[in-house]
Amino acid sequence: MAREFKPYPFEPKHHPAKLPPLRHGADPQRHPVVIVGAGPVGYCAAIGLARHGIAVVLLEADDSVCVGSRAICISRRSLEIMERLGAIEGFRKTGLPWTGGRSFYRDAEVLHFQMPQDDNQKHPPMVNLAQYHIEQILLDRCLEMPEWIDIRWRTRLTALRPHDDGASLTVSTPLGDYAIETDWLVAADGGRSFVREALGLKLEGTSYEGRYVIVDILMKSDRPTERLAYFDPPCNPGSTVLVHKQPHDVWRIDYQLRDGEDPDAAIEPENVMPRVQSLLQMMGERAEWSPIWTGIYKANALTLPRYREGRVLLAGDAAHLLPIFGVRGANSGIDDADNLAWKLACVIQGVAGEWLLDTYSHERVAAAHENLSQASKSTEFMAPPSFAFELMRTAVLGLAVKHAHVRSLINPRQTSAITYTDSPLNVPDDPDDGFTAGPPPGAVLLECPLVWVDNAGARRQGHITDLLHHAATGPAFTALHFMRTPAAAWPLQALQARLADDGILFNVMPIWGSAQDPNDRAFALYGVESSALYLVRPDGHVMARWQHADVSILATRVERTLRSLA
């Protein structure tokens, strides 16, 4: 349910349908991977697989990137992923970075929050940019890799027959229908997933009743980029209003519908315009404005119990639906794609057993449960599902005006990177190693500035996550080898060569104490005493870590861990 008033300041390109050369109504080539759905998740899965040397067919029912008002807030973790996918530039160029926000109860400010941010960080905690920008940036990246990614526009999956070694698909296009055979199918076909329905899979969880009107407007304003939340504001008593700035003078205004309001009528201009006008007046915005788009939003907190069904893997909104509060929908789907791409590539390339894909489901379902728990708490505050929740919220907001200690209850719980605490891939810490700091197995790297000399002898400044960007094609594991005093690196280099012979890409990145970490930040953050090795997965999660000065022993441990994937 949506209304478009005028075009966004963004012109999507429309792509025609094309048929591959067909034989007897079928694509004669059997494909290693078909991805259904070119939304943020489908694009990320396609780019991830392509970077790992796997060719994909990407099916999209539509003829362009999305239109309308959807995701706008992209997290630091997603930006790290975008950097590894080679797509960060567009986010830097177009996105509006921000670090915090403010909440008001009636006319009093009751919370000024900051997301984690310090000078160790490479990326801001969040950037705002519209989903059509996000998709366009990812599409442009796909188009740089035509030998790996074959996008088929206006091509809708209409039938699916899974079997033991793949799936048989039927697709419909304006030029006719045809059949496709694939070894693996990735379902990134969104909230109304055809694949999910075709397999008879059921989402589990809660659907909330409260509704929000989503309004995008065009307005020039110098107001900084931050999240603004107004509870029971004088301009719209009894309601909750969220305001976000987007690039190109677009503003997102979300307001809660009061009980009994008709959602159809609520998005009509005669109802939207006065409410937006009185909000802008209350905020002191005097510039002219015009509506672009209105829609209705209703929160769902749902997930499938598992994301792998034989040769079919589900990701993004097809696998889980998360409330917008805390901005976890696209962000968690991007993480799904990042987790899935290296694992599927390892399985297809024969360096890991199919069981590795069960860890995709295990880790990402656990992540969904954590996301659902956080997002549900945010939703209960933003759209109280019962009188009791409403009462509690009013009490908290009322107390927060005077008492600072209750203000944390208003915190919007913005998304943050998830630790795979009980992943079967984690090698538990050896208690004798005595790490007192640093990311444990299952966690993402802690960001930290470093300096190093590159292959051309030039001194470079960067961050620890830069060490994961290898030129090599393939899912590469990384050893971050911290050393205070120079040690013979040959056992790790010999291992690197041995593993490469068996198709396992593994890079060794030495971090010399005084040379690369002059202020001792990385050594302190990673809890390194004299020397240690962090073994990092291609998706930037720590798999194992050991404190040991003997490089041969470290090499043996790394080899045992990586060969156990087979």
- The SS3 of residue 490 is helix
Q: What is the Cα–Cα distance from 488 to 84, expressed in whole angstroms? A: 30
Binding residue (CB under 6 A) for ligand FAD from 33, 35, 69, 527: 69
Measured CA to CA in angstroms, residue 282 lies from 218, 401, 541 at distances of 17, 19, 45
- Both tokens of residue 291? 């509506």
What is d(CA 316, CA 329) in angstroms, rounded to the nearest whole number? 7
Determine if 154 is a binding residue for ligand FAD (CB under 6 A): no
User: Is residue 79 close enough to count as binding ligand FAD by CB under 6 A?
Assistant: no
Q: Candidates 39-47, 103-111, 264-272, 416-424: pick the segment binding ligand FAD (CB under 6 A).
A: 39-47
Among 84, 123, 141, 156, which residue interacts with ligand FAD (rule: CB under 6 A)? 156
Question: Please, what is the minimum distance in Å from the beta carbon of residue 15 to ligand FAD?
Answer: 12
Helix (H, G, I), strand (E, B) or coil at 538: coil
- Exactly one of 94, 103, 131, 531 binds ligand FAD (CB under 6 A); that residue is 131
Selected from 27, 31, 33, 40, the binder of ligand FAD by CB under 6 A is: 40
**Smaller CB separation from ligand FAD, 188 or 558:** 188
Using CB under 6 A as the binding rule, whether residue 36 contacts ligand FAD is answered as yes
Helix (H) or strand (E) holding 308: strand 308-309
Among 33, 54, 73, 495, binds ligand FAD (CB under 6 A): 73
The three-state (H, E, C) secondary structure of 436-479, written as one string: CCCCCCCCECCCCEEEEECCCCCEEEEEHHHHHCCCCCCCEEEE
- Candidates 61-69, 371-379, 429-437, 462-470: pick the segment binding ligand FAD (CB under 6 A): 61-69
Main-chain phi, psi angles of 113, to 5 degrees: -105, 155
Nearer to ligand FAD, 333 or 439 (CB): 333
**What CA–CA distance (Å, rounded) separates 242 from 249?**
17
The smaller minimum CB distance to ligand FAD, of residues 41 and 532, is found at 41
Q: What minimum distance in Å lies between the beta carbon of 172 and ligand FAD?
A: 9
Residue 62 per-residue DSSP state? S
User: Does residue number 326 form part of the binding site for ligand FAD (CB under 6 A)?
Assistant: no
- Which candidate, 545, 564, 541, 338, places its Cα nearest to that of 442? 541
Listing DSSP states for 484-542 in one string gives SS----HHHHHHHHHHHHTT-EEEEEEEEHHHH-TTSHHHHHTT-SSEEEEEE-TTSBE
Separation between Cα atoms, residue 272 and residue 254, nearest integer Å = 11
Residue 216 is a binding residue for ligand FAD (CB under 6 A) = no
What letter does residue 108 receive in the DSSP assignment?
E
Nearest to 216 by CA among 271, 253, 165: 253
Interface with ligand FAD by CB under 6 A: which range of 38-46, 106-114, 233-241, 354-362? 38-46
- Region 375-414 residues binding ligand FAD, contact defined as CB under 6 A: none
Residue among 16, 14, 19, 38 at smallest CA distance from 177: 19
CB of 231 to ligand FAD, least distance (A): 19
Contact partners, residue 348, CB within 8 Å, separation at least 6: 32, 33, 54, 183, 184
Under rule CB under 6 A, residue 327 binds ligand FAD: yes
- The structure tokens listed for 159 are 């039938």
Rounded Cα distance, 215 and 293, in Å: 6
Give the residue among 341, 334, 361 at the shortest CA–CA distance from 473: 341
Helix (H) or strand (E) holding 418: none
Q: Considering only residues 157, 215, 266, 444, which one is a binding residue for ligand FAD as defined by CB under 6 A?
A: 157
Interaction between residue 324 and ligand FAD (CB under 6 A): yes
* 297 touches ligand FAD (CB under 6 A): yes
Query: DSSP assignment, residue 153?
Result: T
Which one-letter amino acid corresponds to residue 111? L
For ligand FAD, the closer CB: 374 or 426 = 374
Minimal distance, residue 26 CB to ligand FAD, in Å:
17
Q: In the set 8, 27, 31, 39, which binds ligand FAD (CB under 6 A)?
A: 39
* CA–CA separation, 33 and 57 (whole Å): 7
| The binder of ligand FAD chosen from 188, 347, 468, 533 (CB under 6 A) | 188
Determine, following the binding rule CB under 6 A, whether residue 370 of this chain makes contact with ligand FAD: no
39 or 449: CB nearest ligand FAD: 39
- Contact between 190 and ligand FAD by CB under 6 A: the answer reads yes
User: Hey, what are 33's tokens?
Assistant: 């991977």
Q: Which stretch binds ligand FAD (CB under 6 A): 47-55, 109-117, 182-190, 230-238?
A: 182-190
Residue 64 Cβ, how far from ligand FAD at the closest point, in Å? 9
Select 71 or 467, whichever has its Cβ closest to ligand FAD. Answer: 71
**Percent helix / strand / coil, the chain, rounded to 5:** 30, 30, 40
Nearer to ligand FAD, 318 or 492 (CB): 318
Any contact of residue 62 with ligand FAD (CB under 6 A)? yes
Where does this chain bind ligand FAD (CB under 6 A)?
Answer: 36-42, 59-62, 69-73, 131, 156-157, 188-191, 194, 214, 297, 316-318, 324, 327-331, 333
